[in-house]
Structure 1
Amino acid sequence: MADSKSISPADITYRFFHNLRAQVRPGDRLAVALSGGVDSVVLLHLLTTFSKSMQLDVSAVHVEHGISAYSGEWSTFCQSLCNSLTIPLSIHRLKIRKQSQESLEAIAREARYQIFKHIQADYIVLAQHQDDQVETLILQLLRGAGVKGLSAMPTVRLLEPDKTIRLFRPLLNILRSEILNYAKLHGLSWVTDESNLDTSYDRNFLRHQILPLLEQRSPAYRKTLFRSTQHLGEAAHLLDELAEIDAKNIMIADKLSLQGLRKLGPARAKNLLRYLLVQRLIRLPNSTKLEEILRQLNVIQSDNRFRFVVDTLEIHCHRGLIEFLPADSSLEPIAPVVWQGEQHLVIESLQGVLEFTRQNNMGIDPAKLSGRIVTIRSRSGGERFQPNCKRPRRSLKKILQETALAPWVRNTLPLLFCEDQLVWVAGIGIDCNFQVSEGGIGLVVTWHPSQINQISIH
């Protein structure tokens, strides 16, 4: 067990310990993304050095991408390493294939991150270091990235919205050469990915062809450019704070006021849109696409059915409010789901849960459902409904059009049927023929959408 007080501040162990202590707490679960390369092997070794004294629960996760002919050997190496350290390891085997207009590196990274989302941990710990950060900065410059992109990789960030698992990079202020020296000093073994020498990849070309020349001219370029990423990170943080102020002023619940957005200058409007998209952890559109989104939002009518797809999100506008929805929110009609008296009924295809409770003087008359088949369906067209006994029965389509619900929400509302009779519609009410009489105990149905809408509809 290492004693940090006896270690020189110049030592990699000292800096790693302080990076670790600044972020994690006793009892935290840390899963190391273990490739088998020298960086992740050193990361695992450092973590195990402090895990007992800091009361950390350390495990490892290895993703076998199936790209290299040696993938199986790397998995075997990782398993042997974890066995020797008594560290639990989960191995996930994939078959990654090159896709048009997508780099193999990006596809593999996305596949890893999808696996990380299902790991039971507080942190996924990654082995990126200072050299990686500098290379990312230069690659982002070549892509014409803005301040957010140029601030490169953050030390800590959420893996996905509304979750608690975080990505943590405790080696970001440590050089590749220091990591290699540490590995040799401690007699560590590791595997070497032959693709790291393939200069057809932009990062490898930069690493092997360009940066050695830059180092001849400016030996301290790594520390200098790393300092630039920190300055850019501070600037990005200030831009986020400005976006938070703008969002507070023009957001209504989780929707963005179209009128409020138009009152912002172009730069602030782009900054706000970029911020809102980053909060949803999607790949940001390039400047041209972002400007096109703003151009269209500036010319549409407030009641226009605007729709723009960005990565895994759809941007919609309805009644002057802009919403950001999952791209799969336009769902097909669901097959009927039979209700058999459950208190909670999960409707997976509509991404929500129906809750059934009993209350006095309100709800559905249970006697009228007794002995009959009760099903949950989505709209199919042609339904008629009479929620108000003083008004005639009308088409459900017309009733929904009169509500404030957006078109994409209307198509995802669950409908409760008794045999072929429409009994209840989320957000609208109960058909007159099925409402409980005064003094009776009724069945109250509540719809809890989990992803498509973030509100409860009664």
Structure 2
Amino acid sequence: MDYLESALHEAFPEARHIEVALSGGVDSVCLTYLLADLAKRRGFRLSAVHVNHQINLRAGDWQEFCQWLCASLNIPLRTAKVEVNWGGGDSLEAEARQARYAIFAQSQADVLALAHHADDQAETILLQLLRGAGPHGLAAMPVTRALTEHTQLWRPLLNATRDQLEALATVEDWIWIEDDSNDDTRLRRNFLRHDILPRLAQGYPDYREQLLRSVRRAADAAALLDELAASDLELMVGADSSLDLDVLAHVSLPRARNALFAWVEERGGALTPDGLDEALVQLLDAAPDANPMIDVGAWRLTRYRQRAYLIRPFTTPSAPIAFEFSPEQLTLDFPDWGGRLRFNPIANGGLRQVALTGGLTLRPRQGGESLPQNGVTKTLKNLLQEAGMPPYRRERLPLIYQNDTLLAAPGAGINTELLAAEPDVGYVPVWLPYDGY
């Protein structure tokens, strides 16, 4: 108990509300009892959350047990049932974790306490090694991290073993439940727990301590890599959040990998180790006029004129979209086009208002379009090239029509036969993609 109190004082001295994740297993039961006792002495509010994954036939019994335990300790309990994709095996475990953490993220507490212990940490490290993880993955489970803007996640038992927790629960005569799925060695974590780690302990009885040392070193290495990436990206990332490939090409390959990975991850993308190497090849070594499209999770990675961009996957609407112009509402949203159309008023130039009255539509490019430009007619293809618009943006740029007359290609050209003249106000259309590009 003294250890737990010291850990709380070090990590969250001002915590007023702690919520403990209670599954009903021995580890979470121990943590719940320990925090209940600590709450009485320290004066913080304690509550619990139980997530019913509805996978095991006894899941309802486990929820009832958690309700009984919290009632006996006078602890408020938040329960939630989740639907988990029955993919089976380790994919089922990953789906359950994702669903569980979504419920955790709804916590209103300052701190959400999880009962992961040293054996969980050792299993996680070995799983990460077998997945080929780098320093960030080998840093495994941190003691604390942000869960949401207002809730911190806390793992105070990472230095305690499963045997120590079971011994404590037995001495205190605490009751807990056993999850029979923990014996299923078809799951990788259970295979390590039951078949590998006991044999490892025969030759390396202190393997947990050694692995935890490796965790701390990996965490330090990951922090250094993050600092280096932040320093490099200050030089590589432009005002529009694109990445300068000339600068990226002039650092070492490991440094380039680190910077590109960090840049993609900061924006919510994802790159596997193999995908990272392939992305570097396509960004740095492909022909100058090549414009690759690389899937990186929710984004696509591409390049144009020696800069890399992250763009949202987008399909151009096949049919025209009608809209109305009003000087009182100069910005219009077009979710199907993935952006906004804004009309900037100017005193001299821009489309005259009569050209924006009635029959307005947004249409995709069909090929062969042209615009009058100060007495000559230029093809839209040439205007887009002259504007330096990246190919991916040309493909998803909406064209503005009044009936069958092309008024403008925002950012590339305006029909100069329809410009406003002084003293009338004109309007310059600007297209603003939601992803910034």
Q: Same fold (TM over 0.5)?
A: yes
Select 2:87's aligned residue among 81, 86, 98.
98
Question: Which residue is equivalent to 1:143?
Answer: 131
Match of residue 411 from structure 2: 427
Matching of residues 51-70 of structure 1 within 5 Å: 64-70=52-58
Deviation of residue 381 (structure 1)?
1.4
Q: 1:179 to 1:446 in 2, by over 3 A?
A: farther
Change (3 A) 1:271 1:361: same
1:18-417 to 2 correspondences below 5 Å: 18-21=10-13, 35-40=23-28, 64-74=52-62, 87=76, 89=78, 91-98=80-87, 103-112=91-100, 126-156=114-144, 164=149, 168-171=153-156, 173-177=158-162, 180=166, 191-253=177-239, 254-286=241-273, 288-326=274-312, 329-333=313-317, 335=319, 336=321, 338-339=323-324, 341=326, 342=329, 344-355=331-342, 360-361=347-348, 363-370=350-357, 372-375=358-361, 377-382=362-367, 384=369, 386=371, 389-417=373-401
Task: Please say if residues 130 and 174 of structure 1, whose CA atoms lie closer than 8 Å, have aligned partners that are also in contact.
Answer: yes
Contact 1:134 1:226 in 2 (8 A): yes
Q: Does the aligned pair in 1 maintain the 2:54–2:81 contact within 8 Å? A: no
Provide the residue aligned with 1:12 in structure 2.
4
TM-score, normalized by length of structure 1?
A: 0.75
CA–CA distance in structure 1, aligned partners of residues 88 and 394 of structure 2: 36
1:361–1:441 contact (8 Å) kept in structure 2: yes
Contact 2:283–2:302 (Cα < 8 Å) also in 1: no
Please give the alpha-carbon distance, in whole angstroms, between the structure 2 residues aligned to 1:419 and 1:61: 59
Distance 1:127 1:332, change over 3 A: farther
What is the root-mean-square deviation of aligned Cα atoms in Å? 4.1
Q: Give the gaps of 5 or more residues in structure 2.
A: none
Alignment CA distance shift 1:330-1:357 (3 Å): closer
Distance change in 2, residues 1:436/1:225 (3 Å): same
Q: Which moved more, 1:197-206 or 1:30-39?
A: 30-39
**Shift in Å at residue 238 of structure 1?**
1.3
Give the conservation status (yes or no) of the 8 Å contact 2:334–2:341: yes
Which residue pairs with 1:3 in the alignment? none
Cα deviation per residue 1:102-123 (whole Å; 9 max; x = unaligned)?
7332343345556777888887
Distance in 1, matches of 2:172 and 2:324, equals 63
In structure 2, give the amino acid aligned to 1:256. L
- Whichever residue aligns with residue 236 of structure 1, its letter is A
Q: Secondary structure at the match of 2:229?
A: helix
TM-score scaled by structure 2? 0.78
Give structure 1 stretches of 5+ with no counterpart. Answer: 1-6
Q: Any conservation in 2 of the 1:133–1:172 contact (CA below 8 Å)?
A: no
State the SS of the aligned residue for 2:208.
Answer: helix
CA distance in 2, matches of 1:65, 1:284: 29
Amino acid of the structure 1 residue aligned with 2:415: D
- Which SS does the other structure have where 1:103 is aligned? helix
Q: Deviations over 1:122-155 (max 9, x none)?
A: 8776543333222111222233332232222334
CA distance in 1, matches of 2:403, 2:423: 26
Contact 1:378–1:411 (Cα < 8 Å) also in 2? no
Q: What is the CA distance between 1:343 and its match in structure 2? A: 5.4
| Number of equivalent positions | 430
Looking at structure 2, the residues matched to 331 and 394 of structure 1 have their Cα atoms a distance apart, in angstroms, of 27
Rate the CA distance shift 1:107–1:437 in 2: closer, same or farther, 3 A: same
Q: CA deviation at 1:449?
A: 3.0
**1:208 partner letter:** H
Between the aligned residues of both structures, percent identity stands at 34
Q: SS where residue 144 of structure 1 aligns?
A: coil
| Residue number in structure 2 paired with 1:453 | 436
| Alpha carbons 1:364, 1:434 under 8 Å: kept | yes
Alpha carbons 2:118, 2:161 under 8 Å: kept: yes
Q: CA shift at 1:235, angstroms?
A: 1.2
Counterpart residue identity of residue 333, structure 2: V
Does the residue aligned with 1:315 lie in a helix, a strand or coil?
A: strand
Q: Please say if residues 300 and 310 of structure 2, whose CA atoms lie closer than 8 Å, have aligned partners that are also in contact.
A: yes
Aligned-pair distance for 1:230? 0.7
